[in-house]
Structure 1
């Protein structure tokens, strides 16, 4: 079992929990610095009608790139949400074409049989740092250029700019997830490469300004979340490996 560095907390009350301001990811600091600098200049010139919107923009940028700590479940049977957001689709579909066949490197292939795909839509208000759903080794990272359709649409999985990441556990279980750029999102920023060893919940990348992440579960595994549910990256259990059951939810 991989354990991420940090304080250990459990369901018996061990550890110490306290609210803290979330960190700002370095990827966003430069944008916030630019907006803040222009804001200061316009304020110095007494252009208040420009300075105030720039001040708000600076705060919005800081909020978008926030990187809060997460308490990551360490049960090896659990598949953890790689993204914050809304479960917008749960479907039985074949894995991405790029991952169906072996590529000659020894990396696992997912085959063409349908599996459960969970789509998580991230609005501009969600945290956009993506995390590893399981512990293991990155076997494939495949970037594909494409369109910038609304990420909430089903066809975005095949037509939008996207990046597939395939992680294989030491026991051979492989899970793929796809970072998909959306209508507003225009850049996928990876933090990992093929061959990297990941702990569950470890940060793997981000997508700027609204997007979607698709998770492809292994055959014989159903979603443990329901359509319309809000999930939290690194914390929400999406599925338990080998478990198949109907779970119903009521919107109220």
Structure 2
């Protein structure tokens, strides 16, 4: 199993802590130190699991908007998008639990027109106000045919760090890595009103393998 580079510091820190607790258990054996060793070991393997990097096999879909992350669809609604388009769009939101893979990918290929990070609060990621009030990073990419899609990484109550690799004027491929959100989060995708939505509320989706919508 491969591990994502964003987890190096966390995994290294957890390993050092595990070694220290193991040494304490060997030197001062007791129920308390043994229990602490068990908890530290569990924490170490949970962190490794969280930062796993699966070998995700997928097929590029020219007209398709691929899911940019793993998780559960919690919002499908028509909204007024006020950050970039200033017009009505269909918002599709995917909530990622702490057990989901937290790598994020570009749902389409094209040129990045807009990439901005916004500081903010850390409300629970599934709440509607999290989309605007929480710390988030917004990316807008334009396909060769002129279709523009906005997608947003949103921090949650546990996720306190958003990593975004995209920059304005970058050319990105569908399925290329966008970034990483650490410890529970959400992604919003804003598609045109004429998009053919391919998912339903409550549906579990997989990044790069599930198609959220088709826009021709």
TM norm structure 2: 0.93
TM-aligned CA deviation for residue 57 of structure 1: 0.6
- The reply to whether residue 40 of structure 1 matches residue 19 of structure 2 is yes
More deviation in 42-51 or 23-32? Answer: 42-51
> Which residue matches 2:30?
none
Contact 1:151 1:211 in 2 (8 A): yes
- The reply to whether residue 61 of structure 1 matches residue 47 of structure 2 is yes
- Across the two proteins, how many residue pairs are aligned to each other? 209
TM-aligned CA deviation for residue 37 of structure 1: 1.4
Q: Deviations over 1:19-42 (max 9, x none)?
A: xx3x11011022111111111121
TM-aligned CA deviation for residue 142 of structure 1: 1.3
2:131 to 153, 157, 163: 157
- The reply to whether residue 31 of structure 1 matches residue 23 of structure 2 is no
1:132 to 106, 129, 133: 106
Secondary structure of 1:151 counterpart: coil
Secondary structure of 1:204 counterpart: strand
More deviation in 122-131 or 73-82? Answer: 73-82
Task: Measure, in 2, the Cα distance between the counterparts of 1:177 and 1:223.
Answer: 15
More deviation in 152-161 or 46-55? Answer: 46-55
Secondary structure of 1:45 counterpart: helix
4+ runs deviating over 6 angstroms:
none
1:93 to 68, 79, 87: 79
TM-aligned CA deviation for residue 176 of structure 1: 0.5
* Structure with greater helix percent: 2
2:64 to 78, 90, 94: 78
TM norm structure 1: 0.80
* Structure with greater strand percent: 2
- The reply to whether residue 193 of structure 1 matches residue 156 of structure 2 is no
Contact 2:60 2:175 in 1 (8 A): no
Task: Measure, in 2, the Cα distance between the counterparts of 1:186 and 1:89.
Answer: 22
Task: Measure, in 2, the Cα distance between the counterparts of 1:75 and 1:38.
Answer: 45
Contact 1:72 1:200 in 2 (8 A): no
Q: Deviations over 1:75-124 (max 9, x none)?
A: 201110001100011010012x221xxxxxxxxxx242x21110000000
**Structure 2 spans left out of the alignment, 5+ residues:** 26-32
TM-aligned CA deviation for residue 192 of structure 1: 2.0
- Within 5 A, what are the aligned runs for 1:1-252? 21=1, 23-46=2-25, 47-95=33-81, 97-99=82-84, 110-112=85-87, 114-242=88-216
